[in-house]
Structure 1
């Protein structure tokens, strides 16, 4: 345990956060479910302790009071403001409740549910140094000894696997849309506990964390499971008026950028992104808006330029090992196996709107890690041991997110510009930047894996549990409702060793792939070997700095 006098509850959106928000700790507490079989056994929502959660959210809800349980007979007392069950599984009274609360708050030992960071999960300085040195060495070797042309030929190798019927995508999409509606309903009518409600667990853990990794490492699963294609084709079969307007070419990816910015702000800065009802409202608005835009501009135009999830997932899927190649008549799709990043080697330059979209996506992931560090909190004048709550830093963190994006964009365009100047190239900066921006994606994807790995391992289990009982009515649809959540998977020396090495290996592998991708693009833009090497030299330095920055974020203390 690093710190004391801090009560921690788990946030479904990313990290385990304290509602006093003072620090991230590691010790499980039986207040939140008994420790059974080496893991945390999820208690039934009606028997969970929510009084402490609401007291510690006093900046948002005020201090709750208790009134007798409507069941009578000395049952659970409930909070008069939020109607949440109070402490305890058995009969309780206000004196016992207050005494328990005072005991917990003044305890010298930290009580926590679980943590994705802590003393065992901060990347050791040795891994940090080795990772940085490996990044420098890999960059130097690629620049000096590796011909760019050989990489292009290697990337072109493919192995044909199976064929998939294209018509199945519509049926899968309809099922996905139905699941989306159930999740929204669960957000409105299910448990108020983010650990028991499947909507926040699905959106923030399974979708944003898990599917992003699947897209970047395995293949474009989103084009099969996205919930937009099925309703669109259904509307077309019913004869609804579609394609009312032509998507303006000059709009580019700007709509996707604006929507992604709203998504990132809601996840990283909003005061309660995990609250099921609040999240359900946001998902409902976005679903209605997306379907309306698809009906107006068409499925292909909007999902390729305006729907930020489809745009983002489609871009990072270019680095996966699996890709689909449609047949000439469009009846099926050939699944191909290639090397990581092979598809991006043949990518066309992105327009400025696409460049800024990718840069903002990368900056938001980095700011997610930076905003929790002691360094950032000290910079904005906040004591990490007395964190005032998210509502107190909305303004400064909003500015920080924007500043991170502008800083990354400025440094990136400066690096590309210097590289083109070194070769005395007269090529437009937009063309070179539109290609080289792809090369930063592997580093960001690797950091995404390293940063959210423990979140996925633990919260993913909660998601599997919650999906079996989406409305907290005692259902067990998939046989996982009573599954014990194994928090021990991210605690202990053995788990720490595996996590450290996985994180460091992911960051280094991402850097190596980024350098190789940049090397391929340099060969495309500058056929001469010397010019190709000089043009990517400033960008390589940026990649090294970005990699070291990611390693530093994993190794520095955080407060949430």
Structure 2
């Protein structure tokens, strides 16, 4: 691969943040990744029946959607838009959120250094993992994406003189994909939740790299294509009912934006969407008995635990990408079309974002609820929070919320794929045939996700809680 500034910037992220791994003297983990503090529920029916029922729901939804062949009805769901005449309010909101973003970044850096150094008692840790990783992401796909207004690094970069170097087109979103892989791995192997100081160092390193990228390249281009957090929130925000437009804000049906052809306009963007699905599957897998056995077996062969977790992360991502790419190829054959596999992969790719949103809700809703009181206390008393913060206990039925999140994401994804197929292909049977491979892939994803939810959490091996 030819070396270019986007990739070099990603390498700098890896090198800077990996110092936290070396300083830890062993593998520690982000609580946000390696376990959701007992947020799972118990499954009281046979596992095979439970998994078959989940896959059957997606299959039934696919069959029902295929009965909707009226193009006016399909197009109406995705094209119906209500403009929200609140442009002045939007400008005020952007200014307020901008102040919140800058204050939040300063809060993490200051409290991470000067505040208590006790894991989830720290306001810095709670703001990053509960406030941003969980709650802000849920707001992005349930309401609307607030990140363009909040993003503190973009505001800093925009205030600095730019060098104006052209962003290499062939880089696409690949720097964001590589950087997100690095961040996910660091959440597992670096002490980002147990050591607020390490978290502050990681945030400082990330700040330097991403602001530098926004100065070297055009700021708008860098934060749209290469910055992993900006791409993260933009992808999740495309699922939301409130969308930003050139004229202000618009209200659309949930997921309607996913039918547009500019959500993921290139293959590297689809790879980022696949990674969003895989990273949540990965975080669930490594804390289950099969995942723990896989890690222990690899470490037993003499591999460092850090390397094992990296290989699992990258290998699983490659497997998910391969499955999606194969589905795109089968779609091309089933539809008997001259459209390329690459184009079909890009057009059907936004459906993955609905799946990712459902997975995120399943993984992080309970996590956020449990730690919400501690999060609020840490904001009010950042330098002297309660030594034993309050945590909510989840009721036994909460496991069904996880199941509902997974299934709702896949149901929406099926509908998005149905809409895209009728936009691409003139014949009704041709459009329906094109959906089969992606529906099969979604059923497979559903079964895997439900299986992980049904398994007990054992904790990731070689990762202290």
Q: Bin the TM-score by the shorter chain.
A: 0.7 to 0.9
Q: CA deviation at 1:286?
A: 0.6
| Structure 2: distance between partners of 1:420 and 1:552 | 30
Counterpart residue number, 2:277: 362
1:223 to 148, 163, 170: 148
CA RMSD of aligned residues (A): 2.6
CA 1:455 to 1:437, structure 2 compared with 1: closer, same or farther past 3 Å?
A: same
Q: CA deviation at 1:322?
A: 0.8
| Structure 1: distance between partners of 2:184 and 2:169 | 25
SS at match of 2:205: helix
**Equivalent residues of 1:443, 1:547 under 8 A apart:** no
Counterpart residue number, 1:308: 228
Q: CA deviation at 1:283?
A: 0.4
Aligned residues: 424
Higher RCO (C-alpha 8 Å, min separation 6): 2
TM-score, normalised relative to structure 1: 0.71
TM-score, normalised relative to structure 2: 0.84
| Structure 2: distance between partners of 1:507 and 1:148 | 28
Identify the range of structure 1 (147-156 vs 214-223) with the bigger mean alpha-carbon deviation. 147-156
| Structure 2: distance between partners of 1:451 and 1:146 | 35
Counterpart residue number, 1:210: 135
Counterpart residue number, 2:178: 258
**Equivalent residues of 2:280, 2:363 under 8 A apart:** no
Larger Rg: 1
Counterpart residue number, 2:396: 496
Counterpart residue number, 1:343: 257
| Structure 2: distance between partners of 1:171 and 1:508 | 36
Q: How does 1:464-479 map to 2 (within 5 A)?
A: 464-472=376-384
1:485 aligns with 2:380: no
| Structure 2: distance between partners of 1:179 and 1:557 | 35
**Equivalent residues of 2:154, 2:211 under 8 A apart:** no
Counterpart residue number, 2:244: 324
CA 1:433 to 1:224, structure 2 compared with 1: closer, same or farther past 3 Å?
A: same
CA 1:233 to 1:487, structure 2 compared with 1: closer, same or farther past 3 Å?
A: same
Counterpart residue number, 2:425: 526
| Structure 2: distance between partners of 1:183 and 1:487 | 24
| Structure 1: distance between partners of 2:44 and 2:313 | 27
1:374 to 289, 303, 326: 289
**Equivalent residues of 1:465, 1:482 under 8 A apart:** no
Note the alpha carbon deviations across 1:350-389, whole angstroms, 9 max, x for none: 3121121221222111111111110122234469xxx99x
Counterpart residue number, 2:21: none
| Structure 1: distance between partners of 2:388 and 2:423 | 53
**Equivalent residues of 2:335, 2:434 under 8 A apart:** yes
Note the alpha carbon deviations across 1:438-467, whole angstroms, 9 max, x for none: 112212211211122211111232211111
Counterpart residue number, 1:278: 198
| Structure 2: distance between partners of 1:229 and 1:440 | 27
Question: Whose helix fraction is larger, Structure 1's or Structure 2's?
Answer: 2
Counterpart residue number, 1:104: none
Identify the range of structure 1 (128-137 vs 372-381) with the bigger mean alpha-carbon deviation. 128-137
SS at match of 1:159: strand
1:143 to 59, 66, 86: 66
SS at match of 1:350: coil
Q: How does 1:438-449 map to 2 (within 5 A)?
A: 438-449=350-361
2:218 to 298, 312, 317: 298
| Structure 2: distance between partners of 1:559 and 1:447 | 20
> Which residues of structure 1 form unaligned runs of 5+?
1-9, 18-23, 25-114, 236-240, 328-332, 475-480
1:551 to 450, 453, 459: 450
| Structure 2: distance between partners of 1:182 and 1:152 | 46
Q: CA deviation at 1:485?
A: 2.1
| Structure 1: distance between partners of 2:316 and 2:32 | 19
1:116 to 38, 41, 58: 38
